[in-house]
Amino acid sequence: MLSVVRDVIGKTEEPAPSATEPAEETVAAGDAEPEPKETDDTNYSDVPFNKHPRFQQLLRQKKEFEADAQQHRIVQDFMKQNDLDPEEAADGLQIMALMKKDPTKALEALKPHIQRLLEATGETLPQDLRAKVQAGELPLDAAKEVSRARATLQHQQETQRQAEQRRQEDERVQQGRALRDTAISWANDRNTRDPAFQSKEPLMRREIAFLQREEGIPNTPEGVRDQLNRAYASVNQQARVVAPAAAPRPAVRPVTGGTAPGTPAAEPASMLDAIKMGLRK
């Protein structure tokens, strides 16, 4: 952990070049290399894609981001394991910086922490023991022994409390992850089996909200699946009730002769056609 903190706050500047370094030799005009081809950052047509300078730059940036993220996770884990909040971590770093730059201010900043340490270790007598020592009822050495024993017991109890709190928090996170994974798995399975599932999602959300208002949010994977199944069944039932029954279609009577009703008559091409059309009427 300390190595990660050192890496995070370590020096990032590159050392300046020495003034005694020899200057680069000037390349003769006849031996100069041809100017490199202009890079194509749009179509990547100048070189293979995986060899393109822009692509290589993105890979380097990705590795740098991954390293930074890993260090950040390590710092966060350290703070969680030691029950440190961001303000306490920043305060500690600030004090260490003052010790390097201004020891006087560092001592002033450390005094409240030193006082709390004396009380936490029992080196500073609590009020009741101090009163007994002043009244001559208890020797100073005996009072300090009692004070240290109390401090040790309180420290053990606080350590157990913090451990129990972390355990409960871990269980809560794991339980939430299990419930979420169960819901996602159920939805993926239903989406595969029901082509119309996506169109039912708004109704599903409404049904689930109703069930959770009536019954509460389930806290087990089995409860999540049961609530989802009942909401899905209710949505399907509503879809069957809302969908109107198909009206019977009238039978189509075949055309036995002449033209179908409503068909405009064609213009006669000759006198004979006109006579035939008149006879049909």
pLDDT reading at 11 higher than 60: no
Residue ranges per structural domain of the chain:
122-193, 195-241
* 91, 116 Cβ separation under 8 angstroms: no
Query: Tens digits of per-residue pLDDT, 37-78?
Result: 555 555 556 566 667 777 778 888 888 888 888 888 898 889
- Distances, alpha carbon 260 to alpha carbons 171, 217, 222, 253, in Å: 78, 65, 65, 10
Residues 6+ apart with CB under 8 A from 224: 179, 182, 183, 186, 218
C-alpha 26/C-alpha 60 separation (Å) is 31
Q: Please state whether the predicted TM-score (pTM) of the whole model is above 0.75.
A: no
pLDDT reading at 141 higher than 70: yes
pLDDT reading at 171 higher than 80: yes
The confidence score (pLDDT) of residue 59 equals 81
* 231, 202 Cβ separation under 8 angstroms: no
pLDDT reading at 18 higher than 50: no
Burial 59-95 (b: 16+ CB within 10 A, else e): eeeeeeeeeeeeeeebbeeeeeeeeeeeeebeeeeeb
C-alpha 183/C-alpha 217 separation (Å) is 13
Mean pLDDT check: name the lowest of 21-25, 98-102, 254-258. Answer: 21-25
Overall average pLDDT of the 21-30 stretch? 47
83: alpha, beta or left, given left = phi > 0 and alpha = psi -120 to 50? left
Higher pLDDT, 252 or 192: 192
Higher pLDDT, 250 or 155: 155
Query: Tens digits of per-residue pLDDT, 180-234?
Result: 999 999 999 999 999 999 999 899 999 999 999 999 999 999 999 999 999 999 9
- Secondary structure E strands in the chain: none
Q: Which of 12-21, 32-41, 208-217 has the highest mean pLDDT?
A: 208-217
CA angle 241, 244, 250 (to 5 degrees): 150
The confidence score (pLDDT) of residue 67 equals 82
9: alpha, beta or left, given left = phi > 0 and alpha = psi -120 to 50? alpha
